[in-house]
Structure 1
Amino acid sequence: MRLLLIADTHVPKRARVLPAQLLDEVDAADVVFHAGDWVDVATLDLVQERSRRLVAVYGNNDGPALRERLPSVARVELESCRFAVVHETGSAKGREQRCAAQFPDTDVLVFGHSHIPWDSHASNGMRLLNPGSPTDRRRQPYATYLTAELADGRLGEVRLHNLPPRS
């Protein structure tokens, strides 16, 4: 099963549209995870229309219209692998311990907010993944997103994709 992990799209504030490469990935994915900060309802509609399955939350920059349609935490089990999605996890220091305590029944936690890619494991074995942002790289060298493979209940290769600079 092909997974796409995105967050912090911030359309139209940080970019007018989502990158074409990212939209191609939405089309190819079996499941799309979005960890919040959509900013625009039209972006949610677009991703939802193109996704086979969308698991998504709202972020701190998402207004009432998005909060009416999305939860603050989303959970899904795929092939016996338990996923949770949340926008914000707090500071990097102590993140694994905090998240292990807050999400004890989770195998993979997808989060956003920082725009900084993150891939680590908590002491309970939970994998923490932040795809960065495909539109607002902040202090990072590239705008990014993640893809992953899920097979037999196990998360296989997780790949960070760098997007070319916007023209």
Structure 2
Amino acid sequence: MVTRLLVVADTHLPTRAKVLPEQVWSAAEAVDVVVHAGDWMAAGLLDELEQRARRVIGVWGNNDGDDLRARLPEVARFEVERVRFGVVHETGPSRGREERCDELYPDLDVLVFGHSHIPWDTTTASGLRLLNPGSPTDRRRQPHCTYLTLTVDGGAVTQSTLHRLPPRTAGVRKR
């Protein structure tokens, strides 16, 4: 069985953008699981994802308020076709991340995280895959806003694609 996942983080709605890009909504409706690694900023996005997506796995981030923290865990764990996933917003500084995550998450195959808005895809010495999708709404110092799609087949992640979104002018708030 093939399972498709959409991975997003740091949507910051409505502070960094008024809406989620349509390309991301299309992906959310097409996949089997939507994973959000925190910093939603408003529960309305969680509500809408839960209505439009088949399954939503999410965690709260450092910018999320009590309403989201009451509904979401700090760390989520789930399994897709024997692949053990974890989701957390922050993993700390990039220096030492692999070693730190190996120690904190020895029970996982894939750890999805956010916070930095910087896409990340590495594998630790123990084989833990670390994935950060960047942000679909706030590129910060990155050249593009981004999100990830994953395909899990036969007990392994068989495809990981980082999608670049076109520059947005409407609905984006300047810092």
CA distance in 1, matches of 2:48, 2:168: 20
- Runs of 4 or more off by more than 2 Å in structure 1? none
CA distance in 2, matches of 1:107, 1:51: 24
Tell me what 1:23 maps to: 25
Within 5 Å, give how 1:130-141 maps onto structure 2.
130-141=132-143
CA distance in 2, matches of 1:142, 1:87: 20
CA distance in 2, matches of 1:34, 1:122: 22
Within 5 Å, give how 1:38-49 maps onto structure 2.
38-49=40-51
Q: CA RMSD in A?
A: 0.5
CA distance in 2, matches of 1:65, 1:22: 24
Tell me what 1:158 maps to: 160
Length-normalised TM-score, structure 1: 0.99
CA distance in 2, matches of 1:96, 1:14: 29
Which amino acid is the alignment partner of residue 66 of structure 1?
L
Q: Give 1:51 deviation, angstroms.
A: 1.2
Of residues 5, 27, 32 in structure 1, which corresponds to 2:34? 32
Within 5 Å, give how 1:105-116 maps onto structure 2.
105-116=107-118
Length-normalised TM-score, structure 2: 0.94
Within 5 Å, give how 1:25-104 maps onto structure 2.
25-104=27-106
Identity among equivalent pairs (%): 59
Deviations 1:87-142 (A, max 9, x none): 00000001010001000000000000000000000111010000000000000000
